[in-house]
């Protein structure tokens, strides 16, 4: 949901693609795979243009990996998380979105000390652990391997030879830098899929102003 805020990764992709295609955001704050699996058919179907869909990203795990005893509402067991991802992939394939158009995104790493401050401010205990998030990220990568989809392993990439804390605004959610990082990583996977798309309507300098219909219709 936050991806379309100012400097969000979704907004960044939409800006890049404004003359190519529409970027539709259906991510909802706080949701997990258990809930997403149920609502996916309402969001994407054959009648809603699945055949003209270039790519679909599935980005879950930060909420699923919440600790069961401290956050039972959002927590989804690891095996169910993997099964839910597979179920969503199978559904997309059933409406003719093939696996080569699906990109799974793992949860980002968790910066525990920063997130603990957020939890304590609300009177709660630390309700997530980075080691647990890693298990969900690894499961996401494995699902992608099993199902033949692409995957963006954000958990690993953000921690590769660097301090990842600057990628997160509060230890959990992406900062401006984190959004830019995700957008860049995702673009490298989308660019090939989108390179063949024609531009929507000609550039304004190429329109014949004496006979615009000849250029535009």
Average pLDDT over residues 197-209: 88
Spatial strand order in the sheet of 56-59: 56-59, 102-105, 150-152
Q: What is the CATH number of domain 2-215?
A: 3.40.50.1110
8-state DSSP, 168: B
Q: Is the dihedral of CA 198, 196, 104, 169 positive or negative?
A: negative
Q: Which tens digits make up the pLDDT trace of 47-76? A: 877 778 999 999 999 999 999 999 999 999
Domain layout of the chain by residue ranges? 2-215
Give the burial class of 147: count Cβ atoms within 10 A of its Cβ; 0-12 exposed, 13-18 middle, 19 or more buried: middle
Q: Which of 57-61, 137-141, 199-203 has the lowest mean pLDDT?
A: 199-203
Q: What is the pLDDT of residue 202?
A: 86
Tokens of 152: 């963006």
pTM (two decimals):
0.92
**pLDDT tens-digit readout, 118-127:** 999 999 999 9
């Amino acid at each position: 949901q936050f991806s379309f805020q100012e400097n969000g990764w979704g907004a960044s992709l939409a800006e890049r693609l404004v003359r190519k295609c529409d970027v539709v955001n259906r991510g909802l704050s706080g949701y997990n795979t258990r809930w997403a699996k149920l609502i996916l058919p309402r969001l994407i179907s054959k009648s809603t243009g699945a055949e003209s869909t270039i790519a679909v990203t599935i980005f879950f795990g930060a909420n699923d990996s919440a600790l069961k005893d401290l956050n039972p509402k959002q927590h989804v067991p690891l095996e169910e998380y993997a099964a839910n991802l597979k179920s969503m992939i199978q559904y997309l394939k059933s409406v003719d979105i093939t696996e080569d158009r699906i990109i799974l995104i793992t949860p980002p790493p968790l910066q525990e000390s920063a997130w603990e401050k957020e939890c304590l401010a609300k009177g709660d205990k630390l309700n997530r652990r980075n080691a647990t998030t890693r298990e969900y990220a690894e499961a996401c990568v494995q699902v992608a391997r099993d199902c033949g989809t692409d995957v963006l392993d954000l958990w690993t990439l953000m921690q590769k030879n660097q301090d990842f804390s600057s990628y997160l605004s509060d230890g959990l959610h992406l900062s401006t830098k984190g959004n830019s990082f995700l957008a860049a990583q995702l673009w490298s996977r989308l660019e090939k899929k989108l390179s063949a798309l024609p531009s929507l309507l000609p550039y304004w300098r190429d329109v014949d102003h004496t006979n615009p219909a000849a250029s535009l219709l």
